[in-house]
Amino acid sequence: LAREDGLISSKSPGLTGSLMAELGFSDTTQRIRDIVDWPPAQKDTGWKLATPEGERDGYEMAEINTVVNSFHYHNLVLMSELARKLGREDESKWFSDRALKVREAVNTKLFNHATGRYVDGEGSEHSSVHANMFPLAFGLVPEENVKSVVQFVKSRGMACSVYGAQFLLEGLYEAGEAEYAFSLLTSTTDRSWYNMINAGSTITLEAWDIKYKPNLDWNHAWGAAPANIIVRNMWGIKPLAPGFEKAVIKPQMAGLKYSEITAPTIKGPVHGRYIKSKKGTETYFFSIPDGISETLLSLPPGYDKVMINGDRQGAGTPEMRLQPGDYIIELVKTNRPREGL
Task: Check residues 280 and 229 and name the one with the higher pLDDT.
Answer: 229
Quote the DSSP letter at residue 121: B
Please report the beta strands in 196-245, taking only residues with DSSP state E, as ranges in sequence order. Answer: 237-239
> What are the structural domains of the chain?
17-231 (1.50.10.10), 238-332 (2.60.420.10)
* pLDDT mean over 307-330: 86
| pLDDT value for 315 | 63
User: What is the pTM (predicted TM-score) of this model?
Assistant: 0.93
Q: Which CA distances in Å does 154 have to 107, 145, 201?
A: 20, 14, 28
d(CA 260, CA 278): 18
Ramachandran bin of 94, using left for φ above 0, alpha for ψ from -120 to 50, beta for the remaining angles: alpha
Which pLDDT band holds residue 111 (cuts at 50, 70, 90)? very high
Which pLDDT band holds residue 316 (cuts at 50, 70, 90)? low
* pLDDT mean over 148-154: 98
d(CA 170, CA 18): 37
* pLDDT mean over 108-123: 98
Q: Which CA distances in Å does 217 have to 53, 220, 288?
A: 21, 7, 39
Neighbours of 256 (CB within 10 A): 16
* pLDDT mean over 13-40: 93
Which pLDDT band holds residue 42 (cuts at 50, 70, 90)? confident
In angstroms, the first-to-last Cα distance of the chain is: 62
131-140 pLDDT tens trace? 999 999 999 9
Classified as helix, coil or strand, 72 is helix
CA pseudo-torsion sign 132, 219, 201, 197: negative
Residues 6+ apart with CB under 8 A from 35: none
* pLDDT mean over 66-86: 97
* pLDDT mean over 204-214: 95
